[in-house]
């Protein structure tokens, strides 16, 4: 069996082998999910920040979860501002809304 670190490293190798022009919200979301499952929350936030053009409800949700786990309220509030300022607030789905409630509950 592989350790979480080995799995994260293999996943990151695969992710990094994808040319930036071929990366999508799906590939960024998958890598974020892998990092968060492996408790690499700070790395997940760095990855989230590296691909601002590829943010969607899922990447926002995962980044907010990483903020909760790292007690990074400031970063979480920046993400929430980005959600509200991207002109697509009406597309925020129930899962992201639930994560927003969880975020405010954690820091409230």
**Angle at CA 20, nearest 5°, toward 18 and 24?**
80
> Residue 2 has what pLDDT?
73
CA 41 to chain centre: 9
Tens-place pLDDT, residues 76-94: 999 999 998 877 667 789 9
Say whether pLDDT at 51 is over 80.
yes
Q: What is the C-alpha separation between 86 and 41, in angstroms, rounded?
A: 24
């Amino acid at each position: 069996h592989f350790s979480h670190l080995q799995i994260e490293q293999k996943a990151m190798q695969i992710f990094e082998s994808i040319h930036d022009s071929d990366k999508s919200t799906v590939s960024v979301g998958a890598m974020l999910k892998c990092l968060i499952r492996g408790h690499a929350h700070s790395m997940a936030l760095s990855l989230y920040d590296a691909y601002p053009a590829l943010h969607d409800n899922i990447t926002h949700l995962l980044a907010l979860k990483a903020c909760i786990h790292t007690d990074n309220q400031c970063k979480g509030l920046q993400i929430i501002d980005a959600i509200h300022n991207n002109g697509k607030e009406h597309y925020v789905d129930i899962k992201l809304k639930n994560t927003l409630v969880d975020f405010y509950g954690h820091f409230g």
